[in-house]
Amino acid sequence: MVNFFERVLQNPNFYRQFTCNNSLITAFNCPLDARLMKTQFADLWTQYNCLFYVIDGRKIWHTAQGSHDLQKNTCVFVRKGAFILEQMFDVGFCVVLFFIPDEFICDTLKARSRPLADYPKHYDPLMFLNNSETLAAFFHSMSSYFAETNDPDPSLLELKFRELILTIADNPRNAQLLSYFCSLLHEPRSLSLQRVMEDNYCFNLKLEAYARLCNRSLSAFKRDFQQAFGQAPGKWLMEKRLLHAKNLLNNHGKSISEAAFESGFENNSHFSRAFKQRFGVAPSGAKAIRQD
């Protein structure tokens, strides 16, 4: 899978970029030919949360929990992790985009005069934000920076990023995102690891990517994973993906290729071998398998 954050960084000709402390980036894109991904469906992941405001155009964002149609004047927060981006080649896609690490969000929220209220623990991988006048004014103020020849001072950019987080936190209509913010502040690291894995197991990510999503080194990730799940990550991932694929074949009418792709397997051959080894029958005979 392609690292979305790194791909944007590597293409400054397509995106006007402002960085702050090497961890935050803003991007703006309009032309039809400014496409980082040349296929209709792009497999992407990012180690940072991203927030963007759609100025114009349309894309469909597919997560493990569902699909979302993103169109003009929508503001979206996407939790760090993996996703599939479906592109519309007949229209451009113009956005103001932010990549925001967990640590920056937490540092900003800890500085608030009023602590966040306790919200129910429910948040999806992608969350639509309430498009209030205050939030719209913020994005309008950001657009002026792209018209300038010189880049803003990094200290000013940091203030703008903090303003964005605080503006969102002050709006109780963003309840789902505020629930996620609360989890970042208070959730034990062990639960955070489990959440990341449950949300992203069906994507074809390397262990190094999972470690980065969990804010750990690879060795620390393997150690903490063993403690949390009682087995090695590779074995756990294979079992979760095979059970997911079996469910897609049996209950959702997916083809072998679709089930393999949607369960994180590199190719059909690898999927078929692993499936037969686990269930004793090829995927083509999966419908005869009685559900566990």
CATH of the domain at 218: 1.10.10.60
Amino acid occupying residue 92: G
Same domain, 139 and 196: no
Query: In 3-state terms, the chain is what percent helix, strand and coil (to 5)?
Result: 45, 20, 35
Same domain, 237 and 136: no
Please give the residue range of the domain that contains residue 35.
2-186
The answer, yes or no, to whether residue 85 has pLDDT greater than 70, is: yes
Rounded alpha-carbon distances, angstroms, from residue 242 to 37, 176, 218, 270, 286: 29, 31, 24, 11, 11
**Cα 202 from Cα 219, distance rounded (Å):** 22
Amino acid occupying residue 136: A
The mean per-residue pLDDT over the stretch 155-178 comes to: 93
Query: How many domains, in total, are found in the chain?
Result: 2
Q: Which residue has the tokens 């209509």?
A: 173
The mean per-residue pLDDT over the stretch 79-85 comes to: 93
Same domain, 165 and 81: yes
Same domain, 145 and 242: no
**Cα 177 from Cα 105, distance rounded (Å):** 12
Same domain, 114 and 215: no
The pLDDT tens digits of the residues spanning 7-55 come to 888 877 777 788 887 677 777 665 555 555 667 788 899 999 999 898 8
**Cα 146 from Cα 44, distance rounded (Å):** 26
Helices 154-169 & 175-186 angle (0-180, nearest 10): 110
- Out of 154, 186, 218, a domain closes at 186
Whole-prediction pTM:
0.87
- Out of 186, 205, 240, a domain closes at 186
Same domain, 254 and 110: no
Same domain, 52 and 177: yes
Same domain, 171 and 193: no
Strands 59-63 vs 81-87: parallel, antiparallel or unpaired? antiparallel
Q: Which residues pair with 63 in a beta bridge?
A: 66
Same domain, 195 and 109: no
Task: Give me the pLDDT at residue 42, please.
Answer: 85
Same domain, 179 and 222: no
The pLDDT tens digits of the residues spanning 211-251 come to 999 999 999 999 999 999 999 999 999 999 999 999 999 98
What does the buried/exposed string (b/e) look like for 244-256 if buried means 16 or more CB atoms within 10 Å of the residue's CB? bbbbbbbeeebeb
The domain that holds 48 is classified in CATH as 2.60.120.280
Task: Give me the pLDDT at residue 259, please.
Answer: 93
Q: Where are the alpha helices (DSSP H) in 42-116?
A: 102-110
Task: Give me the pLDDT at residue 209, please.
Answer: 96
Same domain, 66 and 91: yes
Same domain, 167 and 244: no
The pLDDT tens digits of the residues spanning 187-197 come to 898 899 999 99
- Out of 186, 204, 220, a domain closes at 186
